[in-house]
Amino acid sequence: DMTSIFSVKGLVAAVTGGGTGIGREVSHALVAAGASKVYILGRRGVELDHCKTTSSKPSAIIPIICDVTSRNSLDAATAQIRSEAGYINLLFANAGINDIPKAVMDPSSVQSLQEGLQTIVDVDMYAEVYRINTLGTLETIIAFLALLDEGNRRNILFQTSQVLITSSITGTAKATYGNFGYAASKAAIGLLAKQLSGILMPHHIRINVLVAGIYGQGMTAGMLQMLTRDDPTKKGSIQRKYIPAERAGSVIDLTGTVLFLASRAGGYISGAEIVSDGGLLAVPPSWAVPTPLSEFFGDIS
């Protein structure tokens, strides 16, 4: 039965950053595809509640206020899940923030480039981005290991437990618009996933990374306003020189990839980075935006 191959019926998941953007869409998709429980973790209760009430099956979505940079907060969240569900099969580690440059970076001369970089680079902001995106992801994975292990022990699903981490092509692209802290935090996640994959392999806990390109949801939504005034997910709405697929990623592209990885169909995949970018990284040199960068991005403060 081909339908069952892509089903997540009976799956129990935890989604960090679950109230908005990618986390919200993935939570809704998991429930719609048959997941029995999806715990959504985030810092803002209003957004978590909205995610729950707008789901096709609100009773299957359980909001938990949680700060991924706090061990106490993570311990409280995992304790609640342990008492209610007892285990999880999937951890979707998605919480993260970006560091939006506060000024235009003009690389037309060394002097202007230096001045721009001095304005853009904010040590405190970079530390916060790294604390949430990288250390927060690591702390989250550590906190959920026992629940993932219990998911394997109960043997409810054919596929073994999995951690799926949201990353970004920014962590591998050569082009930049000045969000160096965010890019470095996502590059670090790639290495973190590889190392954890080896450590957790003997315990049958898989680690995979979803490397997202420009999507209509989440952090890249604002960037799309600079690329097109049309529906960005409509084919032909974006010039091919920017994205070969000629469009931004849609909810279907995003959730379809996650459902594949979470289902029996993706059960043999471990230690992989799945790039979903419409071919953007294939544009030499790995996303060649026009120069000077200020002509393309302008003042995005």
* Bond before 285 cis per omega within 30 degrees: yes
AA letter at 252: I
Question: Is 177 a residue of the active site?
Answer: no
How far is residue 234's CA from residue 252's CA, in Å, rounded to a whole number?
Answer: 12
E strands, 6-161, where? 12-16, 37-42, 61-65, 90-93
Which candidate in 182, 185, 197, 215 is catalytic?
182
Question: Is 186 a residue of the active site?
Answer: yes
How many CA atoms does the CB half-sphere of 167 hold within 13 Å? 29
Question: Is 235 a residue of the active site?
Answer: no
Q: What is the dihedral of CA 22, 27, 30, 34, to 10 degrees?
A: -160
Which candidate in 167, 168, 263, 294 is catalytic?
167
Q: How many helices (H) and strands (E) does the chain have?
A: 11, 7
Closest C-alpha among 198, 220, 215 to residue 250 = 215
How far is residue 94's CA from residue 210's CA, in Å, rounded to a whole number?
Answer: 10
Residue with structure tokens 């940079």?
69
Q: Distances from the Cα of 3 to the Cαs of 14, 33, 260, 280, in angstroms?
A: 24, 11, 12, 31
How far is residue 33's CA from residue 36's CA, in Å, rounded to a whole number?
Answer: 9
Which candidate in 27, 37, 161, 186 is catalytic?
186
How far is residue 211's CA from residue 213's CA, in Å, rounded to a whole number?
Answer: 7
**Which residues are annotated as catalytic?**
167, 182, 186
